[in-house]
Amino acid sequence: MRFAVVTFLALSGTASADKCTGKPRTISELREQWFGGPDHVWPRRVTTRYDKRTRPNLAQRWDDHDANADGKPPEAVADPVWAVLQVRQLEGLDMKAQTFQLDTQVRVFWYDRRLKYDPDCIQLDDLDSISFGAGLGNDIWKPDLEFKESVGVDKVARDGFWISPSGRVWWSRKIFLTLSCRMSFADMPYDTQRCPITLTGYQHGATEIELKIPYDVKATGLTHASVVTAPTFINGPIRAACQKAGSLEWQMTNINGSNSSSMSGDSATSSTFINYDIHLTRSPGFVMQNAVFPTILVVCVAWTSFFIERGAVPARVAVVLIAYLTVSGITSAVTATLPRSPKTAWIITVLWMSRIFVFLAIFEYAIANYLKRAEARITKAMPAAKETLKREENITYASAPAPIALDDVVLTALKKFDVDPEKLRPYAEDGPFLDHPFLDKVLQDAGVAKLGTRLKAIEALGHPPAKHGALQKSARKSAEPDQVVVQVEDVQASVTHRGTPKQLIDQVSKLVTRVDRKLIMATTNDRSIVEVKMYIRDQDVDIFCRYAFPLVYFVTFMALFLALPTQPTVAPFISDACL
C-alpha cells in the first residue's frame, strides 16, 4: 500500500513536470520567452520572433499562413481596442482661455496572442494577470492614441501593464489632460458647459485598430476568444469618481460616450473615435455672493440719494458717484475673467443694467438741480416782468388825451353836418370805430382835438376798454334835452389785471434762458390774477424717482432672472460611480 502511494505521487510529479517542461515558470523567464534574454548576458538568447512594430492580428495572419502556400495571405482585420476614460478630478477651468484640466485614468485593453502563457506554470497568487511596469510599453505593441482636444503636453503620472494568460493586455495610465472646450457664458453663473472629448488613433487608422466601448460584447474578428473578458470594474465608455470629480466651483452633472468613424483624422486613412461628452455645471453661489448681491446693495445705496436734500450737492453727488464707481469696478473684475465673446453673459447684463440705473440716479439729480435753478430764475424774473407791464401801461395811458365832453360847440358842429348825437353812442362803446374820416373832419372843423388819435393810443394797449373793463364809460343826459355828455373814467386796477397771460409769459421769457421758456406756463388764480408756473418742478422728479426707481429695477432684474434655464441635476450613475 505504501509503495502504491509513493508510486502515485511520483507519477503525478512527473506528469506535472512534463506539463510545464519548456515553459516559463517565472516572470523573468516569461519576459525572456517574449523578448529574448537580458541585455547584460552575452550572447543574448533570442527565443522569440515578437515584433513590437507589428500589430497582433497582422502577426497572427503570418503565423497562421502556410509558408509553402502560394499567393498572398488574407487581409488582417483591424485589432479591436477597448478604452475607458475615468475622470478622477476636475483640476481647473480657465474661462478666458476656454480650457479645462482633468485628472484622468485612461484604461485601454486589447488582445495579443503572442503574449499568451500557461497560468498553471507561473505562480499568480490568485490573480488573473501579471503586472508589469511602464517599461513593458517599450517592448510590446500598443495602440498610439490621442485626445484631439488636448492642448500642450499630456502629463503621465502613472503607467502600468497587466497581461492575462489569454493574451489580454490591460494598459492603465494616470494622465493630467489640458483640453480645449468651446464654452458659452450666456447664462453665467447658472451655466452648464458641454465639453466634447475625442479619443482616436494618431498613427493607426480604421483598418488597423477599431476603438470600442467595453459593454461585454462579442469579440468580433478574434479567433482566439469568443467573448471579450474586460476587467470587472470596466463597463461603459466613461466613469467618474463620484461627485469628487468636480471642483469647488464646477460640478460634473453628466458624462457619456459613443463610437463613431470618419474619413478625416490625423492618419492617412479613415479613423474610428470614441466621443466623450462631459457636462460641467457651475455652482452659482460664489458669483452671486461676491458680484450680484453686492451690486444690488450698491444700487440701493444710489436709490437713497433721492431722499437727500436737493440743496446738499456734495452729499448727493458723492453717494451716486461712489456707487457708480463701485459697480464699474465689479463689472471690470468679472469681465477680466471672460473671453472677448460677442455674446454677452447674463451676469454682465445684470451688472450693466445696474450700472445704467446708478447712472440714471446721477442724471436724475442733474435734471432736478437744473429745474431747481430754473425755478429760481423764473421766480426772480416774475417781479421784473410785472413791473415792465405796469410801466408800459402807465406810459400808454399817460399819453392819451383827457376825456372829451360833447358840449354845445361839438353838438353845433354835428348838427351842421346833420349828425344825430344819439347815433354816437354805439361808436362810443366801440371806441376804435370812432376813428372815421367823416367824424374826424367834423371834429376838426369844430375845433376839437382829434378823437381818432386818442382812440388809436387806447387801442395800442392791446385791450380795448369795452372788452377788458380797464376803462369804464358812462353817459348821462343833461337836463337839457339837446345836450349829451359822454364821460370816460379810468378805473384803477392792478398790474396783473392789466396784463394778459401771453404778455406775462413774453415778458418772463425775455429774462430767462431758452430752455426755461419751454418749462413755463401761465395760470389764473381764484382772484383772476395771472401767474407764471413751471410744467414740472424738481420735487416732482425726486418724488417720482423715489417710487419708480426701485420698482423698475426689481421688475427688470426678475425678468432677467426668470429667463435663465434650469440647472441640471447630477446624473444618478455619477453618484453611484464611487470606485
- Residue 128 has what pLDDT? 79
C-alpha 178: how far from chain center: 27
**In terms of DSSP H, where are the helices of 305-345?**
313-335
- Residue 27 has what pLDDT? 81
Tell me how far apart the alpha carbons of residues 115 and 48 are, in angstroms, rounded to a whole number.
11
pLDDT per position in the chain (579 positions), as tens? 555 544 544 555 444 456 777 788 888 888 888 877 655 444 445 456 688 888 888 888 766 665 555 666 667 888 999 888 888 888 889 999 999 999 888 989 899 988 888 888 887 777 778 888 888 888 899 999 999 999 988 898 889 999 988 889 999 999 999 999 999 899 999 999 999 999 998 888 888 898 888 875 444 444 333 344 444 445 556 565 554 566 788 888 888 888 877 655 444 557 888 888 888 999 999 999 999 999 999 999 999 999 998 888 889 999 999 999 999 999 999 999 998 888 889 999 999 999 999 999 999 999 998 998 888 888 888 888 888 877 776 654 444 444 445 556 666 666 666 666 665 555 544 444 344 555 556 556 555 555 555 444 444 433 344 433 333 333 333 334 333 333 333 333 333 344 567 777 878 888 888 888 888 877 766 655 667 778 888 889 999 999 999 999 999 999 999 999 888 777 665 655 544
SS3 42: coil
- Residue 47 has what pLDDT? 53
117 within 8 A of 165, measured Cβ to Cβ: yes
Return the half-sphere exposure (C-beta side, CA atoms, 13 A cut-off) of residue 556: 17
- Residue 288 has what pLDDT? 93
Count, in order, helices (H) and strands (E) of the chain: 17, 15
CATH number of 287-369+540-562: 1.20.58.390
Q: Which residues partner with 484 through β-bridges? A: 477
- Residue 76 has what pLDDT? 82
Integer CA distances (angstroms), 282 to 130, 138, 253, 506, 519, in order:
42, 42, 10, 66, 53
SS3 44: coil
Give the number of other Cβ atoms within 10 Å of residue 342's Cβ: 4
Which fold is adopted by the domain 80-283?
A: Acetylcholine Binding Protein; Chain: A, (2.70.170)
- Residue 251 has what pLDDT? 85
- Residue 189 has what pLDDT? 92
Pairing of strands 79-94, 209-212: parallel
529 within 8 A of 499, measured Cβ to Cβ: no
Tell me how far apart the alpha carbons of residues 260 and 344 are, in angstroms, rounded to a whole number.
34
Q: Which residues partner with 227 through β-bridges? A: 218
Tell me how far apart the alpha carbons of residues 321 and 138 are, in angstroms, rounded to a whole number.
68
323 within 8 A of 315, measured Cβ to Cβ: no
Q: Residues of CATH 2.70.170.10 domain(s) within the chain?
A: 80-283
Give the number of other Cβ atoms within 10 Å of residue 283's Cβ: 16
- Residue 431 has what pLDDT? 44
- Residue 477 has what pLDDT? 38
Q: Is the pTM of this model over 0.85?
A: no
Q: Residues of CATH 1.20.58.390 domain(s) within the chain?
A: 287-369+540-562
Tell me how far apart the alpha carbons of residues 483 and 80 are, in angstroms, rounded to a whole number.
140
Kindly state the helix (H) or strand (E) to which residue 454 belongs, with its residue range: helix 451-459
Q: How open is the CA angle 537-542-544, to the nearest 5 degrees?
A: 95
Give the number of other Cβ atoms within 10 Å of residue 55's Cβ: 22
Name every residue whose Cβ is closer than 8 Å to that of residue 469 and which is 6 or more positions away in sequence: 491
Tell me how far apart the alpha carbons of residues 324 and 355 are, in angstroms, rounded to a whole number.
6
- Residue 523 has what pLDDT? 73
